Amino acid sequence: MLERSRRIVALGLALTTASFVLTPPVGAGDAAVLMGKVFQADGTTPRTGVVVHLVDPASDRDFRAEPTRPDGAFRVDQAPAGTYRVLAETTDGAYLAEQAVTVEPGANRPVSLTLGAAAPSFQTAPDPTASQSGGLPTWGKWAIAGGIALGALFVINEVTDDEDQPASPS
């Protein structure tokens, strides 16, 4: 009976670990989210009513945000991951950023768009989850967790296999 319960526990751990390791992190998917704020030429005054677009240069597909709120905030959340040109549409005209932006699946670091007489410039906010001392990326942490879990399963299997053998008479 003890052997059967150990095997059931081992199977439960194996299934739980497999679902943990094989399930992508929350927020992962094909859609990318780009958010940020739009500022006037002084770089500090928020600009309201600006419509930010992500334009795919290869296909000319356009993904747009709702007009910016009074704090200048915008959010584009329906674009697939990729590299886009950023276009800011205002009542004064449209501004095309000089550099392209690459967005990854899930949420990306916020950007700041500063609109002036020239093309808008944008800056990416620092990644608050990044380690300043060169910590492991998320995939590295998942790989370590999976290795530990699989190692534990092998140990459990060896322990239960040893108990399957009948004791030899001495």
133: left (phi over 0), alpha (psi -120 to 50) or beta: alpha
Looking at the fold, whether 140 and 88 belong to one and the same domain comes out as: no
- In a domain, residue 15? The reply is yes
- In a domain, residue 50? The reply is yes
Say how far apart CA 150 and CA 20 lie, in whole Å. Answer: 12
- In a domain, residue 71? The reply is yes
Give Cα separations from 22 to 29, 45, 156 (angstroms): 14, 45, 21
Give Cα separations from 106 to 19, 53, 59 (angstroms): 20, 18, 22
Looking at the fold, whether 75 and 146 belong to one and the same domain comes out as: no
Looking at residue 144, its pLDDT comes to 76
- In a domain, residue 46? The reply is yes
Looking at the fold, whether 54 and 79 belong to one and the same domain comes out as: yes
- In a domain, residue 145? The reply is yes
Looking at residue 115, its pLDDT comes to 86
Looking at the fold, whether 88 and 50 belong to one and the same domain comes out as: yes
Q: How far apart are the first and last CA of the chain?
A: 25
Looking at residue 152, its pLDDT comes to 64
Number of structural domains in the chain: 2
Looking at the fold, whether 117 and 42 belong to one and the same domain comes out as: yes
Q: Find the mean pLDDT for residues 137-155.
A: 68
Contact 124, 109 (CB under 8 A): yes
* Tens digits of residue pLDDT in 10-28: 555 555 555 544 444 444 4
Q: Which residues contact 39 (CB under 8 A, 6 or more apart)?
A: 45, 46, 47, 72, 112, 113, 114, 115
3-class DSSP assignment, residue 46? strand
Looking at residue 1, its pLDDT comes to 62
Contact 54, 76 (CB under 8 A): yes
Beta bridge partners of 122: 113
Residue 6: count other Cβ atoms within 10 Å of its Cβ: 15
Looking at the fold, whether 44 and 73 belong to one and the same domain comes out as: yes
Domain that holds residue 156: 2-25+136-164
- In a domain, residue 130? The reply is no
Looking at the fold, whether 20 and 41 belong to one and the same domain comes out as: no
Looking at residue 9, its pLDDT comes to 53
The residue that leads in pLDDT, 44 or 169, is: 44
Looking at the fold, whether 83 and 13 belong to one and the same domain comes out as: no
Provide φ and ψ at 103, rounded to 5°.
-115, 140
* Tens digits of residue pLDDT in 63-122: 999 999 999 999 998 899 999 999 999 988 888 888 889 999 988 889 888 887 554 555
3-class DSSP assignment, residue 141? helix
